[in-house]
Chain A
């Protein structure tokens, strides 16, 4: 039967993929017989680069490992360094780390919901979720000064406080987001086309999920009850009450349910954290040189467990920094999920583990052809400009925006 098999390369550059990875799919007809992945197209040598820089510089470097889970990596890194140096961060700082972390989870899960909807041809849902994601992006921008790469962590605490007016805005935004998420849960549990499209696709049994080491929502949707926030609490999670959302559908549908369920838990965590956050200092003094030692640190990223190992040698630069991001653990489950699947299911199955890609844009410099001068455009100007640009083309979103503003 071998002669009827066809091998199709997908990637490293492919319209169905959002970032470079190369997959090779062996097909018999439309059915997937074998699947292999060639990773490493995004390898930038960050672990080596960390060894050549100081701990303080490494915070910003690790933050740039991922554009979506930026707070994840910088927190996992500083936690390890603080542990080696024996630094206990102030309570308020641990709450702020938790708050930024949960806001990050919300923006990441809403982004995923949009991508997943797009991959199954439900673009209306993509537009809705990404519009609503702007609510949390605006909050993140207001609190940290940036939409991603928040620069919030430092060794010994956090760099920015959250003031009462920001708390007020955040609570309002959480209400609006919760309202919208309830609507998405309604869609996910009632909309037949979506349920039918996602059910039974990308099956991963609990046994396989455990053997292959699936983490985060990918594992939890296969009934693997693991969450670092509960099992190995960091930041302020040991003081907060929340449920670990699991599901036993073991398919893409289950992964969607887990993620929308986690959104609701995130709102709960945020409300508690904003209410209980104690007053006090933001940082304790940290030495420039970190004593020799080693530490391991875990963080529940939106995509699952993120692991950092740091070894120090008494200087101001680390001896070794090792990072295991959640996607590396999850990508190994994809081959199993695709076994006996259809080629047409490949994009959504890959998207369902939520492999990460980055996006950020704050200030745009505009240069006209032939002119040497550059005009600086702020975020608000860019926003207004884009609305006007569409209005001139006959598309008016003003009504929608007004409706949304009333909610916030």
Chain B
């Protein structure tokens, strides 16, 4: 299946994708924010279209909302980036761990660094922040401020 086939298949199956899908270069496909129908498109791409390798999940603070980009790849080198978003005041997404077992570590990053609640994420150790990290501090949010350095934090000379 070539990049062109993937594009055609996606638009044929989901006509609303027309104009929301971009292929800036060979082996790269980007689908814009499609929150409402994300699940069906994602299932179709990772199932029928064989984008079966999860590269990672990127969370982004975009002001009013938090956008989550899922990067999946086919064995032939094509990478599909597909996005959904969730309101920043109460960010919730569904886990994809039933489909991608290895996704839990990437979803835990969203929890720790952006404060996204991931429904259905299995219990486990937090990642990557320390256990004593203050509650409600999400460092990858744009409005997050670094705490001022304490006296002890200063280098000794």
Query: Is there an interface contact between B55 and A307, defined as CB atoms closer than 8 Å?
Result: yes
- Tell me, rounded to whole Å, the shortest Cβ–Cβ distance linking B49 to chain A: 16
Pairwise interchain contact A311-B75, C-beta atoms closer than 8 A: no
Pair A309/B56 contact, Cβ less than 8 Å = yes
Contact residues on A (Cβ < 8 Å of other chain), bracket: 35 or more
B54 within 8 A of A: yes
Q: Is the CB of B125 within 8 A of A43?
A: no
- Closest beta carbon of chain B to A28's beta carbon, Å: 22
Residue among A36, A305, A309, A329 making CB contact with B58, cutoff 8 Å: A309
Q: Which of B60, B69, B101 contacts A212 (CB under 8 A)?
A: B101
The distance in angstroms between the C-alpha atoms of A47 and B112, with both chains bound, is 14
Cβ distance B124 to chain A, nearest Cβ, rounded Å: 7
Query: What's the Cα separation between A6 and B155 when bound, in Å?
Result: 42
Known: A212-B101, A296-B71, A307-B56. Contact between A232 and B125, CB under 8 A? no
User: A301-325: which have CB < 8 Å to B?
Assistant: 305, 307, 309, 311, 319-320, 322, 324
B44 is an interface residue with CB less than 8 A from chain A: no
Looking at B8-16, B84-92, B127-135, the stretch in contact with chain A turns out to be B127-135
Interface check B42, CB cutoff 8 A = no
- Distance of A329 Cα from B24 Cα, bound (Å): 27
Interface string of B68-107 (1 = CB under 8 A from A): 0101010111010100000000000000000011101110
> What is the interface residue range for chain B against chain A?
35 or more
Q: Is the CB of B75 within 8 A of A45?
A: no
- Contact check, A211 vs B101: say whether CB atoms are below 8 A apart: yes
* A105 touches B (CB below 8 Å): no
Contact present for A298 and B79 (CB under 8 Å)? yes
B102, A39: Cβ atoms under 8 Å?
no
Fill in one digit per residue for A5-41: 1 if any B CB lies within 8 Å of its CB, else 0: 0000000000000000000000000000000111110
Q: Are B105 and A231 in contact (CB under 8 A)?
A: no
Q: A309-B69, A322-B56 are in contact. Are A36 and B124 (CB under 8 A)?
A: yes
Closest Cβ–Cβ distance, residue A169 to chain B (whole Å) = 35
Contacts of B71 in A (CB 8 A): 296, 307, 309
CB distance from B106 to the nearest CB of A (A): 8
Q: How many A-B residue pairs have CB under 8 A?
A: 79
Residue of A nearest to B71 (CB): A296
Distance (whole angstroms) from the CB of B56 to the closest CB of chain A: 4
Q: B27 on the interface (CB 8 Å rule)? A: yes
Flag if A39 contacts B105 (CB, 8 Å). Answer: yes
B148 CB to closest chain A CB (Å) equals 16
- Chain B residues in 8 Å Cβ range of A36: 124-125
Check: B53 CB closer than 8 A to any chain A CB: yes
A324 near B55: Cβ-Cβ < 8 Å: yes
A296–B54 touching, CB < 8 Å: no
In the complex the two chains form, is A295's CB within 8 Å of B28's CB?
yes
Among residues of B, the one whose C-beta sits closest to the C-beta of A224 is B75
Mark out the residues of chain A between 52 and 75 whose CB falls within 8 Å of any chain B CB in the assembled complex.
none
B58 engages A212 (CB within 8 Å):
no
The chain B residues found within 8 Å of chain A, CB to CB, are 24-25, 27-28, 30, 52-56, 58, 60, 69, 71, 73, 75-77, 79, 81, 100-102, 104-106, 124-130, 139-140
- Listed in ascending order, the chain A residues whose CB lies under 8 Å from chain B are 36-40, 43, 45, 47-48, 83, 210-213, 226, 228, 231-232, 293-296, 298, 305, 307, 309, 311, 319-320, 322, 324, 328-329, 331-332
What 10 A-B pairs come out closest when comparing CB atoms? A40-B128, A232-B77, A324-B56, A231-B77, A43-B128, A213-B102, A322-B58, A38-B125, A307-B55, A332-B102
Q: 14 more A-B contacts (CB under 8 A) besides A231-B75, A295-B28? A: A37-B125, A39-B105, A40-B127, A48-B139, A212-B101, A232-B73, A293-B24, A294-B30, A294-B81, A295-B24, A296-B55, A307-B56, A320-B58, A332-B104
